[in-house]
Amino acid sequence: MQKIKLKSFAQAKTNTKKSSVLFFSRKQISNLEKFQRIDSFKSYIPIGNNQSYGRISIPNNDGFGIKLSSSKENNLKIDFENNRINVPADLNIFNVQKYLISHQLHFPVVPGAMKATIGGCIAADVHGKNGHKYGSFGDHVEKIELYSFQHNKILTITKKDDLFYQTIGGFGVTGIIISATLNVIKIHSNFFYCSEFPVSSPKELIKLLIENENECDDIGAWFSISNKMFYGKVYAAKWGDCFESSKEPSFFISIVKYMIFTFFKPMLVKLLFHHLLVYLIYRKTIISKKINVMNLMFPLKYNQGWEKFYGCSFVERQFLVPINQSIDFFNQIVHLMAKHNIYTLLSGVKLFRGNRLGLMSFANEGISFSIQYSTKNSKFDHELNKLLVLNGFPEYLAKIQEVSSNFPFGYKNFNTWFNLATENKINSKLLKWLGVLTR
């Protein structure tokens, strides 16, 4: 057993106590049964690469993280006839997507987190910027190989099994995903045509998203509040029509960006750079600029260190609001942010269509808001929590923080999920905190 320092992505520099992590190879995973019988092996949580912003994959000090030890990409096999791929769950999404693209295929849905594992993407039922067309990651899973905590053995589960839908969006409570068979899509180009349109109000932003969804393969929006003013930008992208060699963005510019975020004190960044950054990001209309597919799907690859903008630690929260309430709610959030002087740079807005069956997935269609701010704004936190609880809007579990969150009233399956977690002795910092709340 190994003790390593684990921290959630948003806790950039806060001190976390060492957590115990057990590494299992795919072959060794059946030994888990023996471990489960040992009394000291009380409770655990499967972990991927700890890319969740919250603490859903951080074990408590009396528990263990269970992690698959590394598989290799070179063993991947594509089923070209059925457009499917079987992938070990510990591989990261960036590497598998890169491999697929080299075969003119791609995953329909990918999150912006390059290091997220396939297991983490299924368990958190992650979303991309094409939820209006392709739903979430779980909608494209055919088969899962799972070490079931309940059955103490490895099972292969498919769409006809309840356990399948409890594992998608189940946040690790049913067992350890060992591998999965996933549907992939053929591509006819390696770039997108991207346009960006500045907007000056929440209403305009939502209207533009909805008016353009049918014509776009990817669509989303960002907003910021600076000097109590709203800045927004809708981004819309369509697949290109051929394959082209692409230029990597300038290494020099990436280094400069990294240095700005890393070496300047957050207060200084806030005071001197926030307005400048907002001006640079939100001012321009861009029409049909070509962007390579990998750069579009993983924009943070060339913006390393961006999270330092928020200082020592920050909160990223995401919640889903029904479309007919989204403009009102958006206005309320913007008003709250302005009132509390919130510095947010690239808070995101996405559109979801269709329904999903995963246990704690965003089940219905709606507009999701992902907002980021420094943890110091506890008054804003408190008021936002009140609003979310009052309206019963679900908040994404991968982004719920221990200290500053809304209890997930919005999920109809919350009790089933929580009971499964308790029965299967799941022990994460987030679950402990939810347990205290439900008592």
Ligand X SMILES: Cc1cc2nc3c(=O)[nH]c(=O)nc-3n(C[C@H](O)[C@H](O)[C@H](O)COP(=O)(O)OP(=O)(O)OC[C@H]3O[C@@H](n4cnc5c(N)ncnc54)[C@H](O)[C@@H]3O)c2cc1C
User: Is 315 near ligand X (CB under 6 A)?
Assistant: no
User: Is 127 near ligand X (CB under 6 A)?
Assistant: yes
Piece of the chain touching ligand X by CB under 6 A; list 35-43, 44-52, 195-203, 236-244: 44-52
User: Is 46 near ligand X (CB under 6 A)?
Assistant: yes
User: Is 9 near ligand X (CB under 6 A)?
Assistant: yes
Piece of the chain touching ligand X by CB under 6 A; list 75-83, 170-178, 227-235, 387-395: 170-178
User: Is 109 near ligand X (CB under 6 A)?
Assistant: no
Is residue 99 classed as helix, strand or coil in its secondary structure? helix
Neighbour count for residue 174 (Cβ, 10 Å): 31
Which of 295/332 has CB closer to ligand X? 295
User: Is 220 near ligand X (CB under 6 A)?
Assistant: no
Altogether, the residues listed in the chain come to a count of 439
DSSP strand pairing (18-24 vs 64-68): parallel
Q: Name residue 220's beta-bridge partners.
A: 235
Residue 377 to residue 387: CA distance in whole angstroms: 16
User: Is 89 near ligand X (CB under 6 A)?
Assistant: yes
Which of 328/423 has CB closer to ligand X? 423
Which of 174/195 has CB closer to ligand X? 174
Is residue 435 classed as helix, strand or coil in its secondary structure? helix
Residue 70 to residue 92: CA distance in whole angstroms: 10
Among 59, 172, 202, 366, binds ligand X (CB under 6 A): 172
Size of the site for ligand X (CB under 6 A): 32
Which of 124/333 has CB closer to ligand X? 124
Nearest to 300 by CA among 94, 114, 95, 49: 114
Helix axes 429-438, 414-423, angle to 10 degrees: 120
**Residue position matching structure tokens 């030890």:** 69
Task: Enter the DSSP assignment of 231.
Answer: E
Among 327, 349, 398, 431, binds ligand X (CB under 6 A): 398
Which of 149/193 has CB closer to ligand X? 149
Among 101, 105, 116, 291, binds ligand X (CB under 6 A): 116
Which of 258/275 has CB closer to ligand X? 258
Cα 173 from chain centroid (whole Å): 18
Is residue 74 classed as helix, strand or coil in its secondary structure? helix
Copy the structure tokens of residue 139. Answer: 């909608």
Among 19, 49, 179, 406, binds ligand X (CB under 6 A): 49
- For the window 289-308, what string marks contact with ligand X as x by the rule CB under 6 A? -----------x--------
User: Is 123 near ligand X (CB under 6 A)?
Assistant: yes
354 phi-psi bin (left φ>0, alpha ψ -120 to 50, beta other): left
User: Is 29 near ligand X (CB under 6 A)?
Assistant: no
Q: What's the Cα-to-Cα distance from 362 to each of 131, 138, 352, rounded to whole Å? A: 11, 11, 9
Q: Name residue 308's beta-bridge partners.
A: none
- Minimal distance in Å, beta carbon 114 to ligand X? 8
Among 43, 57, 179, 405, binds ligand X (CB under 6 A): 57
Helix (H) or strand (E) holding 185: strand 185-186
Which of 69/355 has CB closer to ligand X? 69
- Minimal distance in Å, beta carbon 361 to ligand X? 10
User: Is 48 near ligand X (CB under 6 A)?
Assistant: yes
**Residue position matching structure tokens 């861009």:** 286
- Minimal distance in Å, beta carbon 189 to ligand X? 22
Long-range contacts of 277-282 (CB under 8 A, 24+ apart): 277/345, 278/224, 278/226, 278/231, 278/345, 281/222, 281/224, 281/231, 281/233, 281/345, 281/346, 282/198, 282/222, 282/224, 282/231, 282/232, 282/233
Piece of the chain touching ligand X by CB under 6 A; list 121-129, 190-198, 232-240, 357-365: 121-129
Piece of the chain touching ligand X by CB under 6 A; list 171-179, 218-226, 254-262, 387-395: 171-179
Piece of the chain touching ligand X by CB under 6 A; list 47-55, 208-216, 278-286, 410-418: 47-55
List residues near ligand X by CB under 6 A.
9, 45-53, 56-57, 68, 89, 111-113, 116-117, 119-121, 123-124, 126-127, 171-172, 176-177, 300, 398
